[in-house]
Amino acid sequence: MADLAPTTVNRDRAIHSLTGNCAACGSSTTKTCSGCADASLVVGLDKTFYCGHDCQKTGWAAHKKTCKDLKARKPLYQAGDLLRKLWLVYRPNIIIVDVEKVEVQDRVITFWESVGETAYAERPFAHHLFSDDRIKESVLSAGACGDATFNMRRFVLDMLHGMCDEMEEITVKIKNPLRIVRDFRRFADDPTYREIACNRCQLDSMGNAVFENNGGTPDWQHQVFRVRLRATKEYFVIDLTNAQYGRYDSVIPWNDYLEERVNVVKELGPLGTYDESKIGGLKDESGTCYSTENNIRYLDLVQFYQARMRFELTKWRAENNLDYNSLLELNKAGFDEKSQQLADHISSALAGLREAAFRSGDYAMNWRTTSDPEECGKIRTQHLKFLASHKIASRAAELKNWW
Ligand SMILES: [Zn+2]
Ligand SMILES: [Zn+2]
């Protein structure tokens, strides 16, 4: 089998190349163009080398546009890194299943999960099952591209509205995955694990996974953001959940993305296009979609965490005296340090929120299912009160039957 931990090739190489050939005279040197050296590291391209001032002057006309473009791309690539870090600390709080076991064989990551056995928030995400962060990221992202779209679009907008003049949501069909993730689920009242449909396959009448064929490859439908950088008019994809396909870069030039990874572009529209009410698209073994009520409870849950994350992001930026522009323009070392601090801050704030919701007796937040009508009524009342006290508008109020 080929290398199993692929990343952007250029990124690692660029970090390690300390010497190169002068772009003007070709002699070997360690000196780089100071204008774009840091941006080259961030974007994942080789640095431009000049042996001295004279050669830099000679080469400037040829290098000027590249230098400027790299500097313009840097904050976008750092925004992609930050969005991914935030998604990865956010996601474990809203995942509504218990991951029980993970196995990696060649390019296939398989995990087993249960639903409804323990209350939501009673058992936090099973971080201990993972010794490799990339495997964990792949599992957290499995079948979660739609979730990332509607959970993260607000933050894409907050970070990029000045930097990008177009922001879109796109549905594509993926080709050439470097890894695949298979997800086997059981329910509290049925101990049989069945492979769940996700976006990439359907289940037959026996509950076996059937892969749709699309030109000989399975049908991996995937949602991403596409943005246009105002300064250069270049299009880029921001893909926060490509770890489910074994890729771990967040910002990819649109043309490269199409060529390397996409079979078909299915839908393209402004931010907000992806309809989160579709999240019930996961099918059970009888081919039935999960109920709308489940979706609405899930949407309440994520609204709640989103609002809290946005609040904490604002608070942290004020305390650190860093608006998004200043944060994203930091040099790579400074940005890596600050963005990690920010992600750690959000991680502990959300974990605290999760515990508080559980302790407060908001059972709906705890995601326990019940068939007792009396308990259902109680849960619903408490849930709505809890949401109202945190100023969260709830679609649950529209429901006639809570369960
Ligand atoms: Zn030279
Ligand atoms: Zn330069």
Question: Over the stretch 227-262, which tens digit does the pLDDT of each residue have?
Answer: 999 999 999 999 999 999 999 999 999 999 999 999
Token reading at 375: 């308990």
Instruction: Give the Å distance between the CA of 63 and the centre of ligand 1.
Output: 14
d(CA 357, CA 48): 52
Angle at 297 between CA 295 and CA 300, to 5 degrees: 110
Q: Give the ligand at the shortest distance from the Cα of 59.
A: 1
d(CA 53, CA 80): 34
Q: Give the ligand at the shortest distance from the Cα of 39.
A: 2
Instruction: Give the Å distance between the CA of 17 and the centre of ligand 1.
Output: 17
Whole-model pTM: value is: 0.83
pLDDT, position 352: 84
Q: Give the ligand at the shortest distance from the Cα of 31.
A: 1
Residues 6+ away with beta carbon under 8 Å from 379: 363, 364, 370, 402
pLDDT, position 372: 57
pLDDT, position 186: 86
User: For 339-363, what is each residue's pLDDT tens digit?
Assistant: 999 999 999 998 887 777 666 655 4
Q: Give CA torsion, residues 338, 340, 309, 115, to 10 deg.
A: 180
Q: Where are the alpha helices (DSSP H) in 223-262?
A: 254-261
Instruction: Give the Å distance between the CA of 31 and the centre of ligand 1.
Output: 10
d(CA 257, CA 251): 9
Ranges of residues in the chain whose predicted pLDDT is under 50:
1-14, 199-217, 280-291, 363-370, 398-403
Instruction: Give the Å distance between the CA of 186 and the centre of ligand 1.
Output: 64
Q: Give the ligand at the shortest distance from the Cα of 21.
A: 1
Residues 6+ away with beta carbon under 8 Å from 284: 194, 290
Instruction: Give the Å distance between the CA of 158 and the centre of ligand 2.
Output: 29
Q: Give the ligand at the shortest distance from the Cα of 72.
A: 2
Pair 302, 395: CB distance under 8 Å: no
Q: Give the ligand at the shortest distance from the Cα of 50.
A: 1
User: How many C-beta atoms surround the C-beta of residue 151 within 10 A?
Assistant: 22
pLDDT, position 215: 42
Residue 333 CA, chain-centre distance (Å), reads: 22
